[in-house]
Structure 1
């Protein structure tokens, strides 16, 4: 797996009350959530990036109050109008 290094102020761990490993996991989940909600990646890819299976990723989305599924209402209207 490829690694990405991010430089952060040393105080960030005390401010967020977490270890570097915990912050790394939190950042992976945050990035996966953002990219999934933007429609840039699938649930499967988001779960993989977050280091989870799809079920755990969907549960994490629910815990964060995020939508688990994307609905393009314009596309839905076109489909409904096609009958």
Structure 2
């Protein structure tokens, strides 16, 4: 896949092409996981990380590894 970037975009981000590609894959994987479109395992694969590394990345993005609302968690906790 090819991606066109404005002249100097990578320099302004202080990143080389390979680093930018890794960062872009991680950002896409995190967003798709947040949207519920892919699983943690698939997101980790897209990002080129282990599942535990991906979970740590979620924390850096300020996201929870859990894909349910507080109400859903409470309902699950109340089930026996």
The TM-score with structure 2 as length reference comes to 0.84
- 2:42 counterpart residue number: 45
1:3-82 equivalences under 5 Å are: 4-73=1-70, 75-76=72-73
Distance between the aligned counterparts of 1:45 and 1:62, measured in 2?
Answer: 17
Gaps of 5+ in 2: none
Could you list the per-position Cα deviations for residues 1-29 of structure 1 after superposition, in whole angstroms to 9, with x for gaps in the alignment?
Answer: xxx21111121111100000000000000
- What is the CA RMSD across the aligned residues, in angstroms? 1.9
Q: Which runs of 4+ in 1 moved over 2 A?
A: 72-83
Structure 1 length as normaliser, TM-score? 0.82
TM-superposition CA deviations, 1:46-73 (whole Å, max 9, x none) = 0000000100000111122111111134
Aligned residues: 80
